[in-house]
Amino acid sequence: MNQEKSISLKRKPSVIISSIMLSLFIFSCGGPSGNSTKIDIEEIGQQLLVLDDNVQKEIAKSPLDARGEEKIVPRTINDDGSLRVVAGHDWTSGFYPGVMWYMYELTGDPEWKGKAVRYTSKLTKEMYNGSNHDVGFRMYCSFGNGLRLIEDEIYVPVLVQSAKTLIARYSETVRSIKSWDFNEEVWQFPVIVDNMMNLELLFWASEETGDPIYRDIAIQHALTTKKNHYRSDYSSVHVVDYDTITGAVRQKNTHQGYADESSWARGQAWGLYGFTMTYRCTKDKQFLEQAEKIAGFLLNHPRLPEDLVPYWDFDAPGIPNEERDVSAAAIIASALYELSTYTENGGELKEKADQILESLGSVYASPAGENYGFILAHSVGNKHGNSEVDVPLNYADYYFLEALVRQERLAHNKPVV
């Protein structure tokens, strides 16, 4: 696939899978020891309709968040068992509109398109939200998928402004995009491995506008991350903090993993996905080699379970009695489908992705009608901070559906992105 087609959403044709009764190699489940029954995308749709109904009920009861902003999308389940619905400023707000877009792509059903358009439109003002690096997550998963699928030109200026907002956080001295503004008593310029995921918005913006600044910043950020976040075994540190005056590395920490020296599972997944995408957008072999090495670390790790759904941290002290992180597994599966199209061992990588999807659907899926309608259960947001442990998360559902889309496209010999 040539670079222009891989980056430019505006020129990429929509691909809608024709049949709702689509075999997806996933299974409904009654738990790890229960009997599995094959399901189809229609059953996933029924689950998401339950979620959407519960979202509207929760908003009707409590329409504003603690900051007085309108609640919009579901994020997770709170410790007290209630549904957590968040406003547009939340870093996860783009995933639920993205779920709707992927359902539209998988089914062609205009009901999903209508929901996707409606939820996406509610995030418009977030194109100016430069409070952290997550503008890419918010806007590219929502408006980006929308532009790809329905080619609505009104999405273009929103995405371009979002890219402008993101690069405002770039430092020529550090040669990276600053991730966070909090913990200023500890960090000067923290950069997290997760930030690799936001670079796709920048590659798109250069293709769309013809201005190389977005692409140049994305490449430099990826190079800095490659240099400073990765250890000799190709595991990743979570947070690298830089000196704002010299650009030198001050410290390497974790914020969501077990320890500074450990390998937080979702961080490894973000890196795999991010470097695979960066290779697609640049065709620079060093990024492909980085992605292949990260995949090797993950897939050959002695503490990766047989079902390929990792523990929340590869170095968590209580393995095998630690929680799994389904969100990490979903991200890894989606990344492996794309990586499989670039590598000599692509068949093996695709088989691993297929196995992850089967595991997620057979053991880790929410029983029909439960968990408020989230598709998957058993994700871990931040065990280090005792937050969102063993719960559904909207980004787990997002990357699960993205992986299903990619699996189906590969089955029909179509590009995965």
Peptide bond into 320 cis (omega under 30): yes
Q: pLDDT confidence of 40, banded at 50, 70, 90?
A: confident
Which tokens hold the place of 53?
């109904």
- Rounded mean pLDDT, 227-249: 98
How many CB atoms neighbour CB 293 within 10 A? 17
What is the set of domains in the chain, with CATH numbers? 3-411 (1.50.10.10)
2 or 408: which carries more pLDDT confidence?
408
- Rounded mean pLDDT, 11-18: 41
Q: Which active-site residues does the annotation give?
A: 134, 194
Query: With pLDDT > 90 as the criterion, what percentage of the chain qualifies?
Result: 90
- Rounded mean pLDDT, 35-61: 86
| pLDDT beyond 70 at 20 | no
pLDDT, tens only, 131-153: 999 999 999 999 999 999 999 99
pLDDT, tens only, 285-323: 999 999 999 999 999 999 999 999 999 999 999 999 999
| pLDDT beyond 70 at 27 | no
Average pLDDT in the chain: 92
Residue type, 31: G
- Rounded mean pLDDT, 376-403: 97
Which tokens hold the place of 401?
């559906």
**CA angle (199, 402, 111) in 5-degree steps:** 115
| pLDDT beyond 80 at 29 | no
Give the total residue count for the chain: 417
pLDDT, tens only, 177-216: 999 999 999 999 999 999 999 999 999 999 999 999 999 9
CB 171 within 8 A of CB 159: no
What is the reported pLDDT for 8?
42
Return the bridge partners of 73, or none.
86
Query: With pLDDT > 70 as the criterion, what percentage of the chain qualifies?
Result: 91
10 or 272: which carries more pLDDT confidence?
272
The Cα diameter of the chain in Å comes to 59
| pLDDT beyond 90 at 118 | yes
Query: What is the pTM assigned to this prediction?
Result: 0.93
What distances in angstroms separate CA 223 from CA 43, 46, 295, 298, one per listed residue? Answer: 42, 43, 18, 21
| pLDDT beyond 60 at 24 | no
| pLDDT beyond 90 at 15 | no
- Rounded mean pLDDT, 99-103: 98
